[in-house]
């Protein structure tokens, strides 16, 4: 069964990432679990820079409650990559991201993943509505 294409033009935001020496595994490519850290870094950089998320002192934090990734081609240190980011679903207190790993200047993704954040009040760990500035930042990435 052919994999769906994940193309650069389908993602409205890109976060550059530098692979690191220790990302490679014994097989000479980036280990599968490392892709999740790339996704987490890309999303949180966007939320901090564009959405104003205060990860140290803010009353709102995002918890990852679901994640997955499909792999199409390997990457390895010292490649520079970019993580494409889009929002598939924006709820009251949750958001589903779709992400893709692209080698620099390549059109086809090497991997594509999804994860869901639920935004909660830091003190109680109870879900709360996504604050307006964060919601606006996420809505800017929403695709149809």
Cα–Cα distance measured from residue 84 to residue 143, given in angstroms and rounded to the nearest whole number: 13
Q: What distance separates the 2 farthest-apart alpha carbons in the chain? A: 47
Instruction: Write out the two tokens for 16.
Output: 């550059």
Q: Identify the pLDDT of residue 33.
A: 92
H helices within the chain, ranges in order?
A: 32-49, 132-139
Closest among 42, 141, 140, 46 to 100, alpha carbons compared? 42
Domains in the chain with CATH codes? 8-139 (3.10.129.10)
Instruction: Write out the two tokens for 75.
Output: 């990457």
Contacts of 127 (CB under 8 A, 6+ apart): 93, 94, 118, 119, 120
Q: Identify the pLDDT of residue 5.
A: 76
Cα–Cα distance measured from residue 46 to residue 112, given in angstroms and rounded to the nearest whole number: 18
Q: Identify the pLDDT of residue 77.
A: 94
* Local confidence pLDDT in tens for the 144 residues of the chain: 455 679 999 999 999 999 999 999 999 999 999 999 999 999 999 999 999 999 999 999 999 999 999 999 999 999 999 999 999 999 999 999 999 999 998 999 999 999 999 999 999 999 999 999 999 999 999 987
Over residues 97-137, the pLDDT tens digits come to: 999 999 998 999 999 999 999 999 999 999 999 999 999 99
85: left (phi over 0), alpha (psi -120 to 50) or beta: beta
Closest among 66, 67, 62 to 118, alpha carbons compared? 62
H helices within 12-120, ranges in order?
A: 32-49
Q: Which three-class secondary structure state does DSSP give residue 142?
A: strand
Length reported for the chain: 144
């Amino acid at each position: 069964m052919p994999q769906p294409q994940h193309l650069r033009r389908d993602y409205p935001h890109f976060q550059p990432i530098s692979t690191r020496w220790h990302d490679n595994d014994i097989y000479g490519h980036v280990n599968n679990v490392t892709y999740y850290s790339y996704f987490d870094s890309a999303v949180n950089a966007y939320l901090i820079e564009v959405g104003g998320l205060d990860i140290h002192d803010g009353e709102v934090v995002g918890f990852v409650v679901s994640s997955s990734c499909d792999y199409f081609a390997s990457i390895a240190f010292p490649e520079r990559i970019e993580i494409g980011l889009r929002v598939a679903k924006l709820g009251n207190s949750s958001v589903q991201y779709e992400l893709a790993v692209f080698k620099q200047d390549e059109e086809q993704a090497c991997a594509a993943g999804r994860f869901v954040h639920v935004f909660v009040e830091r003190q109680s760990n109870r879900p709360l509505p996504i604050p307006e500035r964060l919601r606006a930042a996420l809505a800017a990435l929403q695709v149809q």
